[in-house]
Amino acid sequence: MTPKKVLGLGLLLLVPVLAFLFLEVFGKNEYALRTFYPVIDENTDAPLVQNGDTVFQRIPDFRLTAQTGQEITQQDLKDQVYVANFIFSSCKDICKKMTHQMTRVQEAFAQESRVKLVSFSVDPERDSVATLNKYAQQYGADANKWYFLTGPKAQIYHLAREGYKLAAMPAPTAIPDFIHSEKFVLVDEQRHVRGFYDGTSEEDVDRLITEIQILLNERARLKKQ
C-alpha cells in the first residue's frame, strides 16, 4: 500500500473519532438566550446581585382590554412565553407587515398553549374594542392566544417606553399618526425581556420562532432540575 493510500485510510478512520469527540464536547451544551436590562444597584452603579444571581427588570403590571372585551392583565400571561409589539389599526404600511409576520408566529405555535402574542395599540382613542376585533379577524387571530389591547394611552405608552424599551409617541403632524417601533419583543415566563426582532423581516421572525422554542426547552430543563 502506498503512503498516499495509507494517509487516506487514516483520515477516513479519523473522521468518526473526531465526530464523536465533537458531539461529546459540544453536543450537550444548550444555547441560552441573553436576558436584557439588569437592575442597577444605586449604591454601586453595578448590576444588582441577589443570592449570586443578577436581578433583571420585569415588564410592569398592566390592565387593558382585548379585542373580545375581556380584561387582560399580567395574570393572563403568567407562566407564559409571549411576543409583544405595538401597532395601530389605521396604520397603512409597517403595521400590516408586522401583523402579517405575527400571524406566522401564531401558526408556528398554534398547538402550544405556553405561547401567547400581545399587540398593544398606540392609538387607543380610535382603536376601540370593536375596531381591534375587526382588525384581528382580518388576520385570523386566535382570541385565546393573540390579544389586541386597548386602554388608557398613558399606560400603554409607559409600558412601551419603560417596560419594553420601545419608542411610542404621536407624530408631530396635523394628520393623526404615530411613531412606534417595528420591533417584536420576546418575554419569558418571569416577565424578563429575552430578545428583540425586526417585525417586518421574515428572516428575523424566523429567528424569533427558533428562539421561542429555545425558551420553551429552557423552561422544561429548569423544571426537571
Q: Are residues 19 and 114 in the same domain?
A: no
Lowest mean pLDDT among 47-51, 71-75, 168-172: 168-172
Could you tell me which residue, 220 or 203, shows the higher pLDDT?
Answer: 203
Q: Can you give the pTM of this predicted structure? A: 0.81
Tell me phi and psi for residue 109, to 5 degrees.
-120, 30
Q: Are residues 20 and 80 in the same domain?
A: no
Q: Are residues 2 and 97 in the same domain?
A: no
Q: How confident is the model at residue 172 (pLDDT cuts 50, 70, 90)?
A: low
Distance CA 29, CA 36 (A): 21
- Domain containing 76 equals 49-224
Given a cut of 60, is residue 89 above it in pLDDT? yes
Given a cut of 60, is residue 17 above it in pLDDT? no
Instruction: Provide the domain count of the chain.
Output: 2
Beta 146-149 vs 115-121: how paired, if at all? parallel
pLDDT of residue 68: 98
pLDDT of residue 9: 42
Q: Where are the beta strands (DSSP E) in the chain?
A: 49-50, 53-54, 63-65, 71-73, 81-87, 115-121, 146-149, 168-170, 178-180, 183-187, 193-198
pLDDT of residue 92: 81
Average pLDDT over residues 128-145: 98
Residue 41 maps to a domain: no
Q: Are residues 10 and 69 in the same domain?
A: no
Given a cut of 80, is residue 178 above it in pLDDT? no
Average pLDDT over residues 152-162: 91
Q: Are residues 66 and 141 in the same domain?
A: yes
Q: Are residues 19 and 53 in the same domain?
A: no
pLDDT of residue 159: 92
Average pLDDT over residues 152-159: 92
Q: Are residues 62 and 125 in the same domain?
A: yes
pLDDT of residue 84: 97
Residue 39 maps to a domain: no
Q: Are residues 69 and 25 in the same domain?
A: no
Residue 35 maps to a domain: no
Average pLDDT over residues 72-84: 95
